[in-house]
Structure 1
Amino acid sequence: MASNEVKPTAKEDENAGNWKDSIFNPRTGEFCGRTAKSWGLILLFYLVFYAFLAGMFVLTIWVMLLTLDDYVPKYRDRVPHPGLVIRPKQLDMLFNRSQPLQFNTYVQTLESYLQQYNDTEQERNEACAAGVYFEQEGEVGEQRKACQFKRSSLSRCSGLSDSTFGYAEGRPCVLLKMNRIIGLKPRGDPYVNCTAKRDNPIQMQYFPSEGRFDKMYFPYYGNKLHERYVQPVVAVKLLLNKVDYNTELTIECRIEGSDLRNNDDRDKFLGRVTFRITVKE
């Protein structure tokens, strides 16, 4: 009986041999077209090359670190004016005053933030003179003292007499603070002024009185030198009435009364902040 097996032709055997030789040629000892010595030289070259690049990178970083100060940033010209920050950290707030679950998150955020301002904690700081910059001299690395900012100075927005910060009564409080900038000494007498973007104004109360950032909290010396420093805070209580409920209110707050910028169209948070709040009943 004749066999149906097809034997490979000589040309096919030659092609198969050439393909195998391209991977490893036993006659010349080449692997992928290169001898062991050639591969060794290539690997050595790349090892030295990348070791040189890594060394240059480490040297560059080391030289750069030698130029930095542990306590003061080298370049501060890009942030000469502070931004205004709101707490709770929400630019859109919506809640029903009769449903605590809807505003508990805001209340908890305020309570947590104000822990560092507790009177017992702040009594460890200095009772500074109001209206005067608290400038300090000291040795390199010496800790600077911090002025007291007691939570009780926020009065009806302190969370001490009203644990809901006014949210349960439909007259919520928000906290405003400036970003920290080392060495900042604002000229004038900076204060917060908030307005509603509508025809009818909204009554508001400010704590501390007149919403002022006292000069005694300036200048700031940096996180390492000023570990106990806390930023001055202005609390704004929105005295809403029934006619203000169930309507989205847009509130803009600005730092006024000083040389701090608050009208840069390129940065909506430079010296100002805008937030929206809707209280339902």
Structure 2
Amino acid sequence: MPTITEDCIDGFQQYYARPPERPKKKSIKQMIYDEDENSYFGRTIESWAKIGIFYIVFYVVLAALVAICMWAFFQTLDPRIPKWTLDRSIIGTNPGLGFRPLPPVEMVESTLIWYKGTQHENYKHWTDSLDDFLAVYKVPGLTPGRGQNIYNCDYNQPPPRGQVCDVDIKTWAPCTKENNYSYHKSSPCIFLKLNKIYDWMPEFYNTSTDLPHNMPENLKTYIAEIEKTEPHKLNTIWVSCEGENPADQENVGSVNYLPVRGFPGYFYPYQNSEGYLSPLVAVHFQRPKRGIIINVECKAWARNIKHDRKDRLGSVHYELLID
């Protein structure tokens, strides 16, 4: 009669016994289909069916939960009105100023506008870039709504609710496509636009007696003249462009602003209305000095627009080099 110790040893040896040797081909075949247990890859057909049904149900339920969560999330969003605006948004309340044309894509970090006015192929990039940028202004059908809600605004005639102000491209002359934006005359036009901030309303400098000390003198004089002759146009975000340094100020020459020296107040506030186009100011540099880099800084002026040269708040910098 075997003892308890012998039984333990026999059980141990049986448990850890090497499985019977099989040819490699037969082992692979048995792994795929085991005739003894009628199983495929270690599971019977019934077992595979159960686990398949489980995962199908699991992923269907998971997808349904995700869909419900996404549906609930999108119910909180408005396709036209952002959830967070002004001080509560990342953009904030200080609009930036942008310029066109931009340098080629391979020079994306550059702000230098460099060309030869006597060579069409040399300045073609700049005029083509402006053509592309201004196309939506020239063809109202390119905007959402196909221009059906465009309204001819004025300072005493703001747009009705749901309509947007027209941007009259005829007032940009000589900064037009037909005139090559005056690049062929070495007196280029640069277009400025104010970045859009939903529901932001400018606080205008609409009196000549309360202008900031750092505002250019020629702009102060311009505002004083408007105050005397056309006071209804004082509700404007004023614009100034001048050389950054004393040498640049000498080299930049005279500057003309078209159609007016700023962005009319009736374009604001921006409320993402269908077909809205930002107002533009064409800055015409009439006689910039050739063969030298001119650093130019343009600023937008309103009581609630802050300027910071380092962070480029309320302003934009670019360089002109005309050979």
Partner of 2:158: 134
Partner of 1:248: 293
Deviations along 1:191-230, whole A, 9 cap, x unmatched? 22223334311224232366211101112221xx332x32
For 1:1-281, list aligned pairs within 5 A. Answer: 13-14=22-23, 16-76=25-85, 77-79=89-91, 80-90=93-103, 91-117=111-137, 125-130=150-155, 134=158, 136-137=160-161, 144-159=162-177, 163-188=179-204, 189-200=236-247, 201=249, 202-208=252-258, 211-222=261-272, 225-227=273-275, 229-241=276-288, 244-263=289-308, 265=310, 268=312, 270-280=313-323
Query: Residues 202 and 302 of structure 2 are in contact (CA less than 8 Å); yes or no, is this contact kept in structure 1?
Result: no
Query: Residues 133 and 215 of structure 1 are in contact (CA less than 8 Å); yes or no, is this contact kept in structure 2?
Result: no
Unpaired runs of 5+ in structure 2?
Answer: 1-19, 104-110, 142-146, 205-235
Moved more, 94-103 or 74-83: 74-83
Q: How many residues align?
A: 253
Over the matched positions of the two proteins, sequence identity in percent amounts to 23
- Rg (Cα) greater in structure: 2
Change (3 A) 1:106 1:61: same
Change (3 A) 1:181 1:98: same
Q: TM-score, normalised by structure 2?
A: 0.68
Query: Residues 191 and 280 of structure 2 are in contact (CA less than 8 Å); yes or no, is this contact kept in structure 1?
Result: yes
Unpaired runs of 5+ in structure 1?
Answer: 1-10, 138-143
Deviations along 1:111-133, whole A, 9 cap, x unmatched? 444455459999x9434332x69
Deviations along 1:35-82, whole A, 9 cap, x unmatched? 222222222221111111111111111112222224312222222333
Alpha-carbon distance between aligned partners in 1 of 2:139 and 2:51, rounded to the nearest angstrom: 70
Change (3 A) 1:34 1:133: farther
CA RMSD in angstroms comes to 3.0
Q: TM-score, normalised by structure 1?
A: 0.77
Partner of 1:5: none
Q: CA deviation at 1:146?
A: 2.4
